[in-house]
Amino acid sequence: MALPQDFAQHVKSVADIARIVGESVRLKKAGNNWVGLCPFHQEKTPSFSVHSTKQFYYCFGCGAKGDVFRFVMETERVDFLEALKRVAQRAGVPIPAERPSAPATPEQRQRAKLAEIHEVAAEFFRKQLQSAEAASLRELIRKRGVKPESTDEFGLGYAPSGPSALANLLKKEGFKQEDIEPSGLVIRRESGGLVDRFRNRWIFPIKSESGKVIAFGGRALGDDQPKYLNSPETPLYSKSRTLYNLYGAREAIRKANRAIIVEGYMDAIAVHQAGVTNVVASCGTALTSWQSRLLAKYASEVVVNYDPDSAGVAATDRSLSLLLEEGLTVRVLRLTGGLDPDLFVREKGAKAYQAALDEAPPFFQYLVVRALELHGKSTPEAKLASLNFVLPYLSKVPNSLIRSELMADIAQKIDVNSGVIREAFQKAAMSQREAIQAPAVSLAKIPAAEAMLIRLLLEDAAAREEIHSLLERSDLVEEMECGAIVSGLLGMIAAGVEPDLTALADRLTEPQQRLLAELAFSKDARPVSHSEIDTYVHALERRRLGRQRDSLKRRILDAQKAGNHTLVVELLQEQRELDRKLGELL
Ligand SMILES: [Zn+2]
């Protein structure tokens, strides 16, 4: 079920982003843009900007950005489809009857094919769990305390040991080899034949946020290595952007306004069986920022319950700052007896787990305990080391009142004067601010011609084709300061789609995103005219040739010093050629 392909595009072009944002943020007009206090971070002077015609918002304070749909998704905590419906409604666009849509682009077609393949595979693994070959796995599942309902709910399965059982089935179902290979479920032999990636393994299907199977995890049953094998990254699946069981848990998470995050598949299943259904697993080492953003969509509190081994503790420490940055309230659950959640539930029962959960301390209490474990407080140096362990996390707490209360508490526990903490914190905050104030590239450093071309690409539909063909013929883009922005825009133009700032920003680094926003929101820039394109492209070419000439000059000097006359003659010839080209551009 899906809405027609171009419906979202239509809604976006009709909806007034400033009006919809303005329903929850007080916006003031500033030139062509609107500005207001950012709803995603705390601030006193407005750095949140909204551009009506470019359909884009950007916060110069915290880097929050996106289009009208993302704004609704993040402020109202709904998924894309729901955001689309809400925006359509507010913009007065009637919502067409939902129908299965024909995938449009080759990329979408491939993803749809891969989704079908995963559906067939999931069904295959599930059925194989009932086969004679899987008898010992069924026994293992029973011994591990996984209930039959959970086996169904989590779609657990078995990958048989025969080398190509799944590959053969997929071919029999009519999938072509070139469709099957990118799924990552098979590996191509040197002879060209396909073998299954998962063989003789216990299978855990991994679903997307919307409930489609997009990958699998496979636990070894014999001594095979690795113990846990995952699908590789595919067009359908990115490990760092996926949380295991998010689809199954999201309603419970929303209702409880709290998510429990554990490490592995078995932990998630065990905790779920203990009656705590708002649980997801990160299924990797540490949490990624994408995953913590995903959680922040559904809840404002997260309980981190990683393994008590050293890797798990390190992962907890790293995950904390990401979660705090998303403004989440974080608590840390460390289970007694050095048990992971799966073992704990099996040995101590569901009630004991729920009780432990209720008593999980807030993150800073956990941090102080960790700091004292690591460094102690027996000497002034030890106290300082403990303090330095805690401070970086403290700086991630957005609210200053909460921060100052935490400082007092930490001071008492580490046994230092709270004035010492305040001073150390201010120093740390200071050096952090300095780091932030030195951006990698600033708009002032971008050649004017480059900035103008980008503005034309963004604003002037008529100029796009011409710029596209001029730049395509040269290799100027690679040498541009904003090469990533320009090539992203040219890619969209080549694909025949309207340049979309949200999609573009997602492909850029943070300094580049900021630059793009500065270009898009620049207020006092004069209007650019179509007829200036040649001038700008020539200016960039001159700049490049000038650079080449400089380096050539250096090489000529070197060759002269070395007495290499043949090389000098050659290089001088090159220089004449460059000068001729430069002359043509004047
Ligand atoms: Zn912000």
Rounded distance from Cα 59 to ligand 1 centre (Å): 5
Rounded distance from Cα 302 to ligand 1 centre (Å): 22
Specify the residue for token string 């329903």.
23
Helix/strand/coil for 310: helix
Residues 249/199, Cβ–Cβ less than 8 Å: no
Q: Specify the pLDDT at position 1.
A: 42
Rounded distance from Cα 87 to ligand 1 centre (Å): 22
Asked if the model's pLDDT at residue 585 lies above 60, the reply is yes
Residue 218 and residue 263 in one domain: no
Q: Which residues contact 38 (CB under 8 A, 6 or more apart)?
A: 25, 46, 47, 48, 59, 61, 62, 64
Q: Specify the pLDDT at position 507.
A: 78
DSSP label at residue 181: G
Tell me the per-residue pLDDT of 202-238, one tens digit each, with 9 for 90 and over.
999 999 988 999 999 999 998 877 888 899 888 888 8
Residue 179 and residue 265 in one domain: no
Question: Which element (helix H / strand E) includes 29?
Answer: strand 27-30
- CATH number at 251 reads 3.40.1360.10
| Pairwise CA distance, residues 527 & 471, whole Å | 21
Confidence band for 467, pLDDT divided at 50, 70 and 90: confident
The residue with greater pLDDT, 492 or 273, is: 273
Rounded distance from Cα 65 to ligand 1 centre (Å): 9
| Distinct helix (H) and strand (E) counts, the chain | 27, 15
Residues around ligand 1, an ion, CB closer than 5 A: 38, 40-41, 59, 61-62, 64
Confidence band for 128, pLDDT divided at 50, 70 and 90: very high
Q: What percent of the chain has pLDDT over 90?
A: 32
Tell me the per-residue pLDDT of 388-419, one tens digit each, with 9 for 90 and over.
888 878 877 767 777 788 888 888 888 887 77
Burial of 430: CB neighbours in 10 Å, binned 0-12, 13-18, 19+: exposed
Rounded distance from Cα 257 to ligand 1 centre (Å): 23
Q: Which residues contact 488 (CB under 8 A, 6 or more apart)?
A: 504, 507, 508
Query: Angle at Cα 499 formed by Cα 496 and Cα 500, nearest 5°?
Result: 125
As given in the structure block, the two tokens for residue 398 are 């957005």
Residues 299/258, Cβ–Cβ less than 8 Å: yes
The answer as to whether 452 is a domain residue is yes
Tell me the per-residue pLDDT of 334-353, one tens digit each, with 9 for 90 and over.
998 888 999 999 999 989 99
Rounded distance from Cα 36 to ligand 1 centre (Å): 10
Q: Specify the pLDDT at position 6.
A: 79
Q: Output the average pLDDT for the chain.
A: 85
Domain boundary among 208, 236, 264: 236
The answer as to whether 320 is a domain residue is yes
Rounded distance from Cα 403 to ligand 1 centre (Å): 19
Specify the residue for token string 């974080």.
330
The answer as to whether 98 is a domain residue is no
Rounded distance from Cα 327 to ligand 1 centre (Å): 12
- CATH number at 489 reads 1.10.860
Specify the residue for token string 């690591």.
374
Render the burial of 62-92: b for 16+ CB within 10 Å, e for the rest.
Answer: bbbbbbbbbbbbbbebbeebebbbbbbebbe
Rounded distance from Cα 387 to ligand 1 centre (Å): 29
Rounded distance from Cα 88 to ligand 1 centre (Å): 25
Rounded distance from Cα 38 to ligand 1 centre (Å): 4
Give 403-470 as a DSSP string.
HHHHHHHHHHHHT--HHHHHHHHHHHHHHHHHHHHS-SS-GGGS-HHHHHHHHHHHH-HHHHHHHHHH
Residue 246 and residue 282 in one domain: yes
The answer as to whether 450 is a domain residue is yes
| Pairwise CA distance, residues 202 & 125, whole Å | 9
Domain boundary among 435, 458, 492: 435
Q: Specify the pLDDT at position 107.
A: 78
Helix/strand/coil for 525: coil
Rounded distance from Cα 584 to ligand 1 centre (Å): 48
Residue 528 and residue 487 in one domain: yes
The answer as to whether 395 is a domain residue is yes
Domain count, the chain: 5
Residue 122 and residue 68 in one domain: no
Rounded distance from Cα 96 to ligand 1 centre (Å): 35
| Span 98-105, average pLDDT | 57
Q: Which residues contact 245 (CB under 8 A, 6 or more apart)?
A: 154, 207, 268, 272, 279, 280, 281
Q: Which residues contact 361 (CB under 8 A, 6 or more apart)?
A: 331, 332, 369
In sequence order, the β-bridge partners of residue 301 are 258, 329
Tell me the per-residue pLDDT of 9-38, one tens digit each, with 9 for 90 and over.
888 888 889 999 998 888 898 877 899 999
| Span 550-579, average pLDDT | 88
Q: Specify the pLDDT at position 439.
A: 34
Tell me the per-residue pLDDT of 310-321, one tens digit each, with 9 for 90 and over.
677 777 877 888
The answer as to whether 312 is a domain residue is yes
As given in the structure block, the two tokens for residue 196 are 């299954």
The answer as to whether 96 is a domain residue is no
Residue 284 and residue 385 in one domain: no
Helix/strand/coil for 329: strand
Residue 320 and residue 342 in one domain: yes
Rounded distance from Cα 43 to ligand 1 centre (Å): 8
Rounded distance from Cα 85 to ligand 1 centre (Å): 25
Residue 145 and residue 195 in one domain: yes
Rounded distance from Cα 242 to ligand 1 centre (Å): 25
Residue 317 and residue 270 in one domain: yes
| Span 238-265, average pLDDT | 91
Rounded distance from Cα 46 to ligand 1 centre (Å): 9
Rounded distance from Cα 438 to ligand 1 centre (Å): 19
Residue 51 and residue 178 in one domain: no
* Residue closest to 409 by CA, chosen among 442, 374, 378, 363: 363
Residues 159/222, Cβ–Cβ less than 8 Å: no
| Pairwise CA distance, residues 457 & 459, whole Å | 6
**Identity of residue 79:** D
Confidence band for 160, pLDDT divided at 50, 70 and 90: very high
Rounded distance from Cα 322 to ligand 1 centre (Å): 16
Q: Specify the pLDDT at position 422.
A: 75
Rounded distance from Cα 37 to ligand 1 centre (Å): 8
Rounded distance from Cα 325 to ligand 1 centre (Å): 12
Q: Specify the pLDDT at position 428.
A: 65
DSSP label at residue 25: S
Rounded distance from Cα 296 to ligand 1 centre (Å): 15
Residue 447 and residue 557 in one domain: yes
Rounded distance from Cα 299 to ligand 1 centre (Å): 19
Residue 444 and residue 430 in one domain: no
Asked if the model's pLDDT at residue 523 lies above 70, the reply is no
**Structural domain for 391, as ranges:** 367-435
Specify the residue for token string 């079908």.
116
Residues 87/10, Cβ–Cβ less than 8 Å: no
Q: At what angle do helices 7-14 and 80-90 cross, to 10 degrees?
A: 40
What is the Cα 359 distance to its own chain's centre? 31
Helix/strand/coil for 183: helix
Asked if the model's pLDDT at residue 502 lies above 90, the reply is no
Rounded distance from Cα 482 to ligand 1 centre (Å): 24
Rounded distance from Cα 47 to ligand 1 centre (Å): 7
Q: Specify the pLDDT at position 164.
A: 94
Confidence band for 429, pLDDT divided at 50, 70 and 90: low
The answer as to whether 158 is a domain residue is yes
In sequence order, the β-bridge partners of residue 28 are 35
Asked if the model's pLDDT at residue 196 lies above 90, the reply is yes
Domain boundary among 236, 265, 287: 236
Q: Specify the pLDDT at position 550.
A: 86
Torsion of CA 557, 563, 565, 570, to 10 degrees: -40
Rounded distance from Cα 16 to ligand 1 centre (Å): 21
Rounded distance from Cα 364 to ligand 1 centre (Å): 24
Rounded distance from Cα 484 to ligand 1 centre (Å): 24
Least confident range from 33-37, 181-185, 500-504: namely 500-504
Rounded distance from Cα 63 to ligand 1 centre (Å): 6
Rounded distance from Cα 430 to ligand 1 centre (Å): 19
Q: Specify the pLDDT at position 438.
A: 31
